[in-house]
Every structure is written in structure tokens, then in C-alpha cells.
Amino acid sequence: MGVTASVGLATAPAYAADGAGDPAAATSSAPDGKATPDGKASADGKASADGKASAARRAGTATSTHRTGHGAAKAAHRSPAPSGSAQAKDRAKDRATDRAKDRAKGRKAAATPAPSTTGGSPSTAAPAANGKAAVAAVPNVQIVAGPADPTITGKKVRGSTATIDFTDTQTGVTHGVELTDGTTPVSGTCTTIAGTGGTCTVSGLTSGKTYSGKVWAADAATPSATSPGAAVSGLMVVADPTVGTATVDGTTVSASYTVSQTGVQVRATLDNAADTTSILCGAANCDFTNVAPGTHTVHIWAVDPTDAGNQSGKVSATTSAAVGVAAPTVLGHGTFGTTLLIGYRTDQAGVTVKAEAHPATGATVAGTTVTCAEGTCEIPDLAPGTYDASIWAELSTDATKKSAPVTEGLTGIAVAIGPPTEPMEVTGRPGANAIEVSWIPPFGGGEVTSYRVTATADGYPTRSCPGTVTASPCTIDNLAAGVAYTLHVVAVGADGDSPEATGTPSAPPSGTPQAPAAVPAGAISVGSATAPVGGKVTISGNGFKPGTTVVLTLYSTPVDMGTVTVADDGTFTATVTLPSSVSVGSHTLLATGLGADGAVRYVVEAVSVTAPGAAGGLPVTGVDVNRVVLIAFALLFAGMVLVAGADGRLARRLARLTA
């Protein structure tokens, strides 16, 4: 906020001791009433140079009126004495002395400030030594708040003109701007929208120099007050490029240029398109590819790489020749039932592609011309036979301007009813125990009525998309997590099936693992165990994905033995009970889970199953009678020994019984 010193003048009359400045313009009168320069009267009524009375004649009565510093009137002195008398000289001398004293008192009084009546600084209003008020002028200073600075919201340089945008919610203010390159200041003009902001423009800036400055606000008071000014900097004046020629090469337009400043970027647009569509030019040329037919103008400008707001003016060059219509590029062709399909590519803007099929020699079916969709020309309803085709591009706004037709590779095309050709680009997107399968339909052959889509993997059952599939994509469910599947797609036609197309998903399915139909050959062995029917077997493994599920299965004929969750360190341990239905002999306990990489992981333990009650192996359930009897006898014998030690009679009785 600016601060303004408002200066007023508090004045009061102040007259010198000798009467100078007195409104009456009289201090001491000579006998003839004429005033001397210092207020002293001359004897002849004429002013003397030193204020002393002249010895000449004195006419009439000389009156001198003196006012003291405190305003009291002194007595008037009249001098009727004749000219040249000593008394007149004495009176003149007395008056001179009095006037000197009065002047000294008047100066002291004038230096004493009097209270201001306007609220500002005190003013001087003290009486002079001669009793008249002294005149003085002392500034009356008041502090007044000035306007605040605007807020800079944007800046740019275009050519030699800088534009600065600002906001300002103040009303009753105008704005000003000044920039400098460090040597020469340049002023501009500002447009203000009251209470909103505005724009300042500074023109005539010097190319190659960088400017800074400020934008300020000024109020409408008199005198006006201005804000300190909001700073703005980094306004670089970028020199215009020098444009060369614009040339045409096929569908490419190229314009050459040079620049006088180093380190600048050069951009260009075609036909004055929006700057957002501009291209970054090379070291000496601006190249536009796949340009629409016709003549074109290239607009080129240079940009400050550190601040894209600083740009040169635009220069331009127009092509001397017109861009022609380019022929499309044929990608391939095929038949789909009675429809001829031609794939093509064209990157040129502003053109339409058309195609035609006509019977080859000996055929009797009339030809057909079509307007092609983007990337594909579809010529339908052809009777069986052999055809030649052509494809071309023409200007969308003028069909008379067209490219040469392309016929290469489009001759001798057989149209016949038969099975569809093979589908293309089979891919899969994995999900939880599922894969979404996608493909491109056949590009030829007979009409497709449906598709057969399956997924296969070694050791796992084949799964298919359910229902009747008539289009891509479809989803195959109930797949095993982590397993690498192969995808198969067959196009089914009224006149037979297409060859099978295959592909692979981007990754195996996620979700829950599933046990394979048989123990995989690559399963990792973790040892062996022996247990009877109904006994318990423990299996452990590592290298699994923490938190996932491991499925336990007993083979040869798969028997589900439950699941276990993998610990945080990637390990698991599980104890299972062999079912009563398991046969005695060699079996395999398989653990199926997901490795850390999400792929399926198998660990296997060989299990030897014995008959119930057989020796060896792990602890089993049930009662071993012989073992129980032996333990009972041992306990009985130990008890008898203890009793014998306490009573010898029992020992003697036993001896007699055994004699």
C-alpha cells in the first residue's frame, strides 16, 4: 500500500518590526508622510538611504507608530521642531534604536510555532515586535493510504511487444507499466477493468534483449498516489527467424529457416493451424508428413526454451507446388464367403479410398466399385469365380483429383464357397481361474457360423468357452491357477471348419491351484515316508508364494487330501491321515501350489502304505495286543520285586512254590 504525504499551509499574518509586510504599508512616516526604506523618517519627508533623519526642512508633523512584540501600542512621537534642531536629531536616534529592538523581538516571536487549526503540523502565528502579527508558512502533513499493487497473473512476448496480465480488485484506480533492459526504460499502456484487473502492453522492445520492470496502481486523488509496483521480469525478446523456401516431396512439405539467436527452439504450423498442433522443427527445416493434397503455407516462429511465453513473430512460406493424392498401400486381401476383402493403409489426410473388383478373363459377373472403410475395402456379393481388383485414393472434396490405381497383388482372386480361413492373432487375458480369449476373424473363405474356443495344458482337462460363440472375445472358466495354457480357436462354417489357430495368454491364470490328473514329471521330491492304512504322513515344502493355498493329493488314483496355507516365509507343513480305502503298496503324496512368480509349483513325497499292524513306519492308529501283554508282565514283575524287598517271607514262599 502506498503512503501519501498531504501538505497544507497554515498561515498567519506576521509583520516585521519595521513595518515591512504590514497591510497598511507604513512603519514610520516622515514629516511629509513618505516612508523610508528601513522605516525611518527623514527630516524633509524624503526617504534616506540609512533611515536617519535629514537635516533638511521637515514639513508638518511626522508620526511613527510602533507595535511591540506583545501588541501594545507605543506613544506616537510628533516633531514640531524646526529643521536642523538638535532635538529632532535626538528623536530620530531614539526611533532608530527602538526599531532595532522591535525587529529582534519580532524575529524571536516569528520562530515560536502556533497551534494548527487543520490537524497538521503547528504553524507560526505570533505577533511581531511592532505589535503586528508575523506571517509564516509551515507544512501541514497528513498520512494518506495509497492503492495496493496489482497481482501479476501472466506475461508473454510476441515479436517486439510484451503483454502483462494482472488482477486488481480495487476500484477507482488506473494502472501504469514501465520496462527496462537495464539501460533504456520503455513505458506502455494499461487497460483496466474496474475491480477485476486488466492488461498492460509495452511495444517497441529491442530484439535479443531481456526486460524487467513493474506494474503499478494509481488512484484518482489530486495529487494522485501510486503503489510501489508489482515486479515483472524475464521478458525475453526473441528475434524472428528468416524463412527460406517451402518445397513438396510426395506428401511431405518442408520449409527451411535460419535464426540469429542461439539456444532458441523453432516451431511451425501448417496453414496457420492452432499453436497447440505445432511441430518442433529440426536444425534447419520444418517438415510436415502425410499432408493433404493442395498448396500449403508453413508458419515458423522461435521460442525461448526457458519460457515458452517468450516468442518471436511468425514468418511464413508457401509451397510453390501442390501436394498430390498418394496411392494407398495394399496390406493383403482375401475372400470371406462371397465377399472380397482388401486391407490397406494411407496416412494422408483429406482423402477417400475406393476399390473395384471386376471379373477376370472368361468370367461373366459384372464388377463392383465401393467406398472403403478405414483400413478395409469390402466388396460383397460376388458370384463364385476369379476376380481382379484395384484400389485408389481421391481428394475428399474433389473426386477428379485421385491417385493412380494399385493393382499389384490383386489379380486372379478366386471367390468360392468353402470353409473359412484360419482365425488370426489369438491372445488371452488371464483372470482368477479364467482366461478371456480374443482373436481376429478369418480374412477369407466361407462364411463363419460360430467359433470353437478351448484351452489345454499337460496334465489338466481341456476347458472351453461355454455356449455358442459367434464373436470375439469369450471367457474360459475353471482353469488351474499358475498353469501355462495353450489357446485354440477354430472358425466353424457351413461348408467346413477352418484350420486351428493357437495362441498363449499373457500370463497364467491367478486364483486357486488345482491338482493335475497325474503326478507331473517335474515335481520336486521332498523324501519318503512309510505308514499303515489309516496312519499319518507329514509333508513339507518351500519356495511357495506366501498366503496362497497348497492342494494335497494322494496318487495313483487322485484322492483329495485337503489344503494348507503357505506361511510368510514361503514354507508349509501338513500332516494327513491315509484313508482306509487306500491300498497297501507304493503311493505318492503331491502338493500343488503357486511359486513366488505365480507359476504352478509341485512337491512330491513317496509314501509306502503297509497293512494295519505291520511293524515299522510312522506311528499308526489301532491296538498292538502282544505289545500290551509284554508291558503288563513287566509291570507285574517289577511290583513283585518291590514287595519282596520289603518282606522276605514272600521270597521264601515263592521258592517253595517253584521247588
Residue 372 neighbours by CB under 8 Å, 6+ apart: 342, 344, 352, 353, 354, 355, 378, 391
- Considering the domain architecture, whether residues 24 and 139 belong to the same structural domain is answered as yes
CA-CA distance, 402 to 484, in Å (whole number)?
A: 52
3-state class of 646 per DSSP? helix
Peptide bond into 223 cis (omega under 30): yes
Q: Report residue 335's pLDDT band, with 50, 70 and 90 as the boundaries.
A: confident
- pLDDT recorded at residue 574: 96
For residues 150 and 52, which has the higher predicted lDDT (pLDDT)? 150
pLDDT of 334 > 70? The answer is: yes
- Tell me the pLDDT tens digit for each residue of 239-271: 999 999 999 999 999 999 999 999 999 999 999
Residue 196 · residue 209 · CB < 8 Å:
no
The verdict on residue 300 lying in a domain is yes
Q: Which of 166, 172, 171, 164 is nearest to 188 (CA)?
A: 164
Q: Stretch 303-310: mean pLDDT, rounded? A: 94
Q: Stretch 346-359: mean pLDDT, rounded? A: 92
Q: Stretch 585-599: mean pLDDT, rounded? A: 95
- pLDDT recorded at residue 529: 95
- Considering the domain architecture, whether residues 39 and 83 belong to the same structural domain is answered as yes
Q: Report residue 40's pLDDT band, with 50, 70 and 90 as the boundaries.
A: very low
> How is 135-157 classified by DSSP, letter by letter?
EEEEEEEEEEE-PPPPEEEEEEE
Q: Pinpoint the alpha helices (H) of 458-531.
A: none
- pLDDT recorded at residue 613: 72
For residues 612 and 550, which has the higher predicted lDDT (pLDDT)? 550
Residue 326 · residue 289 · CB < 8 Å:
no
- Tell me the pLDDT tens digit for each residue of 215-236: 999 997 766 789 999 999 999 9
CA-CA distance, 27 to 65, in Å (whole number)?
A: 6
- Considering the domain architecture, whether residues 576 and 477 belong to the same structural domain is answered as no
- pLDDT recorded at residue 114: 45
For residue 596, what are the CA distances in angstroms to 397, 545, 570, 603?
61, 4, 8, 14
- pLDDT recorded at residue 281: 96
- Considering the domain architecture, whether residues 361 and 450 belong to the same structural domain is answered as no
The verdict on residue 514 lying in a domain is no
Take residue 348 and report the three cell numbers written for it: 494422408
Take residue 553 and report the three cell numbers written for it: 493329493
- pLDDT recorded at residue 515: 94
The verdict on residue 361 lying in a domain is yes
- Tell me the pLDDT tens digit for each residue of 122-170: 444 444 445 454 444 545 555 567 899 999 999 999 999 999 999 999 9
Find the CATH number of the domain harbouring 304: 2.60.40.10
- pLDDT recorded at residue 359: 85
- pLDDT recorded at residue 139: 55
For residues 83 and 356, which has the higher predicted lDDT (pLDDT)? 356
- Considering the domain architecture, whether residues 129 and 155 belong to the same structural domain is answered as no
- % helix, strand, coil for the chain, step of 5: 10, 45, 45
Q: Provide the residue type at 429 as one letter.
A: R
Burial status of residue 182 (CB atoms within 10 A of its CB: 0-12, 13-18, 19 or more): exposed
Q: Provide the residue type at 600 as one letter.
A: V
Residue 464 neighbours by CB under 8 Å, 6+ apart: 452, 453, 454, 455, 476
- pLDDT recorded at residue 133: 47
Domain boundary among 214, 236, 258: 236
CA-CA distance, 207 to 135, in Å (whole number)?
A: 60
- Considering the domain architecture, whether residues 161 and 22 belong to the same structural domain is answered as no
For the chain, give the percent of residues with pLDDT over 70: 70
- pLDDT recorded at residue 95: 67
- pLDDT recorded at residue 92: 59
- Considering the domain architecture, whether residues 186 and 294 belong to the same structural domain is answered as no
Query: Count of alpha carbons within 13 Å of 377, Cβ hemisphere only?
Result: 31
- pLDDT recorded at residue 144: 61
The verdict on residue 198 lying in a domain is yes
Instruction: Count Cβ neighbours within 10 Å for each residue of 266-285 and write b for 16 or more, e otherwise.
Output: bbbbbbeeeeeebeebeeeb
Residue 599 · residue 507 · CB < 8 Å:
no
Q: Which of 172, 316, 186 is nearest to 253 (CA)?
A: 316
DSSP-derived letter for residue 518 is S
The C-alpha cell 515458423 sits at 300
- Tell me the pLDDT tens digit for each residue of 357-404: 988 765 555 567 899 999 999 998 888 888 999 999 999 999 999 999
- pLDDT recorded at residue 633: 52
- Considering the domain architecture, whether residues 76 and 26 belong to the same structural domain is answered as yes
Q: Stretch 194-201: mean pLDDT, rounded? A: 95
Domain boundary among 78, 112, 144: 144
- Tell me the pLDDT tens digit for each residue of 446-463: 889 999 999 999 999 999
- Considering the domain architecture, whether residues 132 and 164 belong to the same structural domain is answered as no
Find the CATH number of the domain harbouring 530: 2.60.40.2820
pLDDT of 558 > 90? The answer is: yes
Q: Report residue 296's pLDDT band, with 50, 70 and 90 as the boundaries.
A: very high
The verdict on residue 347 lying in a domain is yes
34-42 contacts, C-beta under 8 A, 24 or more apart: 38/99, 39/64, 39/99, 40/92, 40/95, 40/96, 40/99, 41/92, 41/95
The verdict on residue 277 lying in a domain is yes
For residues 336 and 635, which has the higher predicted lDDT (pLDDT)? 336
Domain boundary among 104, 125, 144: 144
- pLDDT recorded at residue 298: 97
The verdict on residue 509 lying in a domain is no
Measured from the Cβ of residue 649, the count of other Cβ atoms closer than 10 Å reads 8
Q: Report residue 310's pLDDT band, with 50, 70 and 90 as the boundaries.
A: very high
> How is 350-363 classified by DSSP, letter by letter?
TEEEEEEEEE-TT-
- Tell me the pLDDT tens digit for each residue of 464-503: 999 999 999 999 999 999 999 999 999 999 889 999 999 9
- Considering the domain architecture, whether residues 23 and 131 belong to the same structural domain is answered as yes
> How is 29-89 classified by DSSP, letter by letter?
B-TTSPBPTTSPPPTTSSPPSSSPPPSS---S---B--B-TTSPBPPP----SPTT-HHHH
Take residue 292 and report the three cell numbers written for it: 493433404
3-state class of 25 per DSSP? coil
The verdict on residue 516 lying in a domain is no
- Considering the domain architecture, whether residues 4 and 35 belong to the same structural domain is answered as yes
- Tell me the pLDDT tens digit for each residue of 494-548: 889 999 999 999 999 999 999 999 999 989 999 999 999 999 999 999 999 999 9
Helices 625-646 and 648-658, interaxial angle, to 10°?
Answer: 120
- Tell me the pLDDT tens digit for each residue of 57-103: 333 333 333 333 333 333 334 444 444 455 556 665 666 666 666 66
- Considering the domain architecture, whether residues 376 and 254 belong to the same structural domain is answered as no
Count of domains forming the chain: 7
- pLDDT recorded at residue 390: 94
Structural domain of 592? 524-610
